[in-house]
Amino acid sequence: MVKTGTDILRAKSLLENNELIGIPTETVYGLAGNALAPHAVVKIFETKQRPAFDPLIVHTHSIDEVIKYTKNLPQEALKLFEAFAPGPLTLILPKSDIIPDIVTSGHPTVGIRIPNHPLTLELLKQLDFPLAAPSANPFGYVSPTSAQHVIDQLGDKVPYILDGGSSNVGVESTILKCENGEVHVLRLGGLEIESIENVLGRKIDKIKTSSSNPQAPGMLSSHYNPGKQIKIGNIAKEIENHPNARIGIISFFEDFSHPSIQKQIILSPQKDLTEAARNLFKALRAFDNNEIDIVLTETFPDEGLGKAINDRLKRAAAI
């Protein structure tokens, strides 16, 4: 039977039977199951080989639904969802009793988001439960930004993948925790910090995204590793530093030329950070089957989506 397509009814019926499916979102593809059915949620952890201590994000379609699955929604949270939902923003909020503990790994909080993808929003509207969905990749690997990426890695484990084309944003949602009137960043992502600060009318001073941060249990430093050594630095210099290596390159906009270069990917010849973010994960995957010893890349401008790109590259480079 065909594994991918745009058949919402088929997706719905599988989910109602506690099966998992792949879903498109504007950030990355998710591996989705009924968030209110512990049976389905267990399958998500098993399929991804994800440790049970790493909680899942709950996806829904409206602010009214968010209110159902959380408790005492803080003012800031409402303001942020009103400004950015549907969009690449996940808020960590006190959970309501309807959300099973297994979804949140026992935490009293739930990560919740309204994804901005027409197919998935339509599916969510037709379901009478929200979807728990981590990125649809094996634990520790790069997140998928197309249905084909999901097929490549989890194709034998999921019965169906809703194909919504390439993810528009290309990096995962920005995760914020709203607590005691304060807003902390737990994960840099597809929503720019500058836009969040504009809506809040103040600067966010602490970005707590270190790998040792127990508040964001999934943010391990070695995430996103595509199975090749990655080095971040001055690409031209690093080419000279590796005279005998077969070199791969991921650059922002520059084109490098050297006999050692086996494959080169320029993320945005137009120097557009949004375009670069959209192309990043596909680029990291592109070296999988190449005979390359090292992938050289660089630090992107520390603004807009450049912050999330730098975060993912640092994690990809950590062994």
Per-residue b or e along 176-187, where b marks 16 or more CB atoms closer than 10 Å to that residue's CB? bbbbeeebbbbb
Instruction: From 108-116, 135-143, 193-201, 205-213, give the range in contact with Mg ion by CB under 5 A.
Output: 135-143
Least separation in angstroms between CB 217 and ligand TXA: 5
Binders of Mg ion: how many residues, by CB under 5 A?
A: 1
Dihedral sign (CA 283, 289, 290, 294): positive
Interface residues with ligand TXA (CB under 6 A) are: 25, 27-28, 30, 54-57, 90, 92, 104, 107, 109-111, 113, 115, 133-135, 172-173, 175, 186, 215-219
Residue 119 DSSP class: H
Residue with Cβ nearer ligand TXA (177 or 298): 177
Residue with Cβ nearer ligand TXA (89 or 250): 89
**By C-alpha distance, which of 4, 10, 61, 5 is closest to 35?**
61
Least separation in angstroms between CB 139 and Mg ion: 8
Among Mg ion, ligand TXA, none, residue 25 binds (CB under 5-8 Å by kind): ligand TXA
Among ligand TXA, Mg ion, none, residue 110 binds (CB under 5-8 Å by kind): ligand TXA
Least separation in angstroms between CB 171 and ligand TXA: 8
Q: Is 25 in the site for Mg ion (CB under 5 A)?
A: no
Lookup result for tokens 């197309």: 146
Least separation in angstroms between CB 224 and Mg ion: 9
Give a three-class secondary structure readout of 214-226. CCCCCCCCCCCCC
The one-letter code for the residue type at 147 is A
Task: Find all residues with CB under 8 Å of 68, minimum gap 6, and list them.
Answer: 96, 98
Strand (E) or helix (H) holding 314: helix 306-317
Q: Give the residue at shortest CB distance from ligand TXA.
A: 218
Least separation in angstroms between CB 50 and Mg ion: 8
Residue with Cβ nearer Mg ion (27 or 135): 135
Among ligand TXA, Mg ion, none, residue 196 binds (CB under 5-8 Å by kind): none
Residue with Cβ nearer Mg ion (142 or 296): 142
Least separation in angstroms between CB 255 and ligand TXA: 31
Applying CB under 5 A, among 34, 109, 120, 135 the residue interacting with Mg ion is: 135
Least separation in angstroms between CB 210 and Mg ion: 17
Cβ pair 145, 279 in contact under 8 A: no
- Give CA–CA dist 209/191, Å, rounded: 15
Provide the β-strand partners of residue 266.
Answer: 251
Mind giving me the DSSP string for 31-90?
A: EEEETT-HHHHHHHHHHHT--TTSPPEEE-S-HHHHHHHBSS--HHHHHHHHHH-SSSEE
Residue with Cβ nearer ligand TXA (23 or 230): 23
Residue ranges binding Mg ion (CB under 5 A)? 135
